[in-house]
């Protein structure tokens, strides 16, 4: 679990033309409405990291 993995997830799980997640379909042949839970997971992790860095800088 690191930032690079988050970036990979966000790079793969992109919105398809039909509004479904292209990454889920390509990797798992699943039709998942975008954003899928993996995008949610990666972005929420990212948000926490940014917040932590921000607090770190304030201190
Ligand atoms: Zn996905």
Residue 47's H or E segment, with its range, is: helix 37-58
Cα(30) to centroid(ligand 1), Å: 9
Beta bridge partners of 15: 21
Mean pLDDT of the chain: 89
Q: Residue range 16-44: average pLDDT?
A: 95
Distance CA 41, CA 52 (A): 17
- Per-residue model confidence as pLDDT tens digits over 34-58: 999 999 999 998 788 888 888 888 6
State in Å: Cα 15 to ligand 1 middle.
8
**C-alpha of residue 24 to centroid of ligand 1, in Å:** 4
DSSP 19-41: SBBHHHHHHH----BSS-HHHHH
Enter the pTM of the model. 0.71
In angstroms, what is the span from residue 52 Cα to ligand 1's centroid?
A: 26
Q: Is the Cβ–Cβ distance between 22 and 14 less than 8 Å?
A: yes
Cα 56 to averaged position of ligand 1 atoms, centre (Å): 31
């Amino acid at each position: 679990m690191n930032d690079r993995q988050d970036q990979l997830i966000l790079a793969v799980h992109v919105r398809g033309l039909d509004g479904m997640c292209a990454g889920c379909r390509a990797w798992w042949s699943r039709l998942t409405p975008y954003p899928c839970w993996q995008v949610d997971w990666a972005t929420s992790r990212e948000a926490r990291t940014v917040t932590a860095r921000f607090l770190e800088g304030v201190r």
